Structure 1
Amino acid sequence: MFGNTVQPEIVSLFSSTGSDPLGLFGRACDALLPADSFIHLLIDNSSLPVPPAPAVPILPPSRDNSDEAESSNTSGLSLSQRVLHIQSPTLHTTYIRCPSDNSHLGLKHPWLHIQARDMGRPFSFEVGLVDRAGLVGVVRLSTFQKEPRLKRPTNSSSPPLLHLPLSFPSISSRPLTAWATVTLHLPTLLPHFSSSLLARGTEGTHTPASFGAFAHTSYVKVYATCRLRRIWFSQSGPSKQAPWEFELYGDEYR
């Protein structure tokens, strides 16, 4: 997809405020759950416009965990911007993926950044990594995962899956925003695909070859349930200031 192109220092793969946010992505929803499995663009601080019926969006967790409206409990935590709402009780059936087919992204940037909002439901995203020898591995981060685990493939054609925990700041801790930027340094994850310690107790029997140096990212896949603002790749880590338009601008406290 991008493997044969000149790649700038920063590549924005997804922006919820762009003219065609999902132009590079495929999407899937659970057809058996039309009221609770959908993907929809809305304004974060108002949760409007509502999606077409029969879809019923959940609201973000309130500051005090009461049943009051979001506007009275999360002032200052929300964004005054359009975001992508991805919702479903079945994570594996509801997601966006880039590329939409089986081709490779081909992005060589070592840093991945994802801006997401915790919606109080299980949430997961994954990224496919390729080393210089062409070996492929999948890294998945999930809010329900308690400790790192490596799932070995059952055959030589399946990639190993490194499953890592993901957590967001608790609303009760009164963070400045309910949004978070998750940053991954992709080259440091490749050696874990060969870890016998992380694979202990898993079902897979095939031991993958040792992974070499990072080459590129093959795909990015974001599952329900979350709100998503931006996905980008960069040559520099969080120590370097991101462009101003990548920053999170919250609603004012009232």
Structure 2
Amino acid sequence: MFRNTFQKGFLSIFYSIGSKPLLIWDTKVSHGHIKRITDEDSKSLALDIRGVNVINCYITAPADPCTCLGIKLPFMTIIVKNLKKQFSFEVQILDDRNQLRRFRFSNYQKKTRVSNFTTNMPLALNCGWNQIQMNLVDFTRRAYGTNYMETVRITIHANCRLRNIYFSDRLYTDDEKPVAFKFMGKDDEKKKEKEALKKILKEPKKSVVAIETVRPSSPVSHITETAVVNEA
């Protein structure tokens, strides 16, 4: 799909705010839902993926099972919200031995398990929005002793809230990224700081009156205390 595309910098394959975020994706829903909603924390659109069984509720790219992504960029980033439920995703890659290998990440897996073609890895998520960054070159070398060639397929299972999935040629700081690729968690912190500042500025002003206490006969007799008194 992207093999003949010039790949440098950033390559996005999912953006929840886009006009057609699931254009290259196929979906499967069983006892759950996959829908775009407005997230209450970020105040922006996000794809909500929820299901009773994580295996039977997911999105996968490319939509055509006979097509591969063909993305050669080594760093993959997912911006996802922790819903405090079971969640997993899978990345399928091709190595220099022309073998298909899988990396499966889940928040209910406790130990890393490596077999010939599949690696299961535990995933620790913070509350709220998370930025998951993966060095696929390093993962492939450590797990299989081979060299990463390209990413073939990505599958995101329930339960999560998804904002962005993109690849890059290296890890970038937020200052280097375009707005669409920035980690929204830091933007939320800035908004909270601004709201807290506004709240402080709206509070009634207070006057500070210095009151000298009775000085004890000790070496610390030069210390005075201050009391905050509300205006009448």
Normalised to the residue count of structure 2, the TM-score between the two structures is 0.76
* Unpaired runs of at least 5, structure 1: 46-77, 153-159, 172-177, 195-210
Alpha-carbon distance between aligned partners in 1 of 2:114 and 2:48, rounded to the nearest angstrom:
29
Alpha-carbon distance between aligned partners in 2 of 1:143 and 1:234, rounded to the nearest angstrom:
24
Give the match for residue 112 of structure 1.
76
Give the match for residue 83 of structure 1.
46
- 3-state SS, counterpart of residue 250 of structure 1: helix
- Higher RCO (C-alpha 8 Å, min separation 6): 1
* 1:3-18 to 2 correspondences below 5 Å: 3-18=3-18
Structure 2 counterpart of 1:38, from 28, 33, 41? 33
Moved more, 217-226 or 97-106: 97-106
Give the match for residue 177 of structure 2.
242
Give the match for residue 168 of structure 1.
125
Alpha-carbon distance between aligned partners in 2 of 1:121 and 1:43, rounded to the nearest angstrom:
19
Give the match for residue 133 of structure 2.
183
Alpha-carbon distance between aligned partners in 2 of 1:143 and 1:23, rounded to the nearest angstrom:
27
Structure 2 counterpart of 1:231, from 148, 165, 172? 165
Indicate the percent of aligned positions where both proteins have the same amino acid.
27
1:238: how far off? 4.3
- After TM superposition, which residue ranges in structure 1, 4 or more long, deviate above 4 angstroms? none
Alpha-carbon distance between aligned partners in 2 of 1:15 and 1:114, rounded to the nearest angstrom:
10
Give the match for residue 207 of structure 2.
none
RMSD, matched Cα: 1.7
Alpha-carbon distance between aligned partners in 2 of 1:29 and 1:150, rounded to the nearest angstrom:
29
1:192: how far off? 4.0
Which amino acid is the alignment partner of residue 23 of structure 1? L
Per-residue displacement from partner, 1:104-135 (whole Å, max 9, x unpaired)?
A: 10000000000000001000011011112311
Q: Is the 8 A contact 2:25 2:60 kept in 1?
A: yes
1:124 matched to 2:88: yes
Per-residue displacement from partner, 1:158-186 (whole Å, max 9, x unpaired)?
A: xx1101010112x4xxxxxx101100000
* Unpaired runs of at least 5, structure 2: 196-232
Per-residue displacement from partner, 1:18-42 (whole Å, max 9, x unpaired)?
A: 0101001000011xx2xxx110100
Normalised to the residue count of structure 1, the TM-score between the two structures is 0.70
1:239: how far off? 4.8
Which amino acid is the alignment partner of residue 232 of structure 1? Y
Give 1 or 2: higher helix fraction.
2
Structure 2 counterpart of 1:94, from 57, 76, 95? 57
Give the match for residue 49 of structure 1.
none
Which amino acid is the alignment partner of residue 146 of structure 1? K
1:5: how far off? 2.2
Which amino acid is the alignment partner of residue 158 of structure 2? A
Q: Is the 8 A contact 1:190 1:213 kept in 2?
A: yes
Q: Is the 8 A contact 1:183 1:238 kept in 2?
A: no
How many aligned positions are there? Answer: 187
Alpha-carbon distance between aligned partners in 2 of 1:4 and 1:133, rounded to the nearest angstrom:
21
Give 1 or 2: higher strand fraction.
2
Alpha-carbon distance between aligned partners in 2 of 1:111 and 1:85, rounded to the nearest angstrom:
24
Structure 2 counterpart of 1:144, from 99, 105, 108? 108
Alpha-carbon distance between aligned partners in 1 of 2:54 and 2:25, rounded to the nearest angstrom:
17
Per-residue displacement from partner, 1:199-234 (whole Å, max 9, x unpaired)?
A: xxxxxxxxxxxx532110001110000000000000
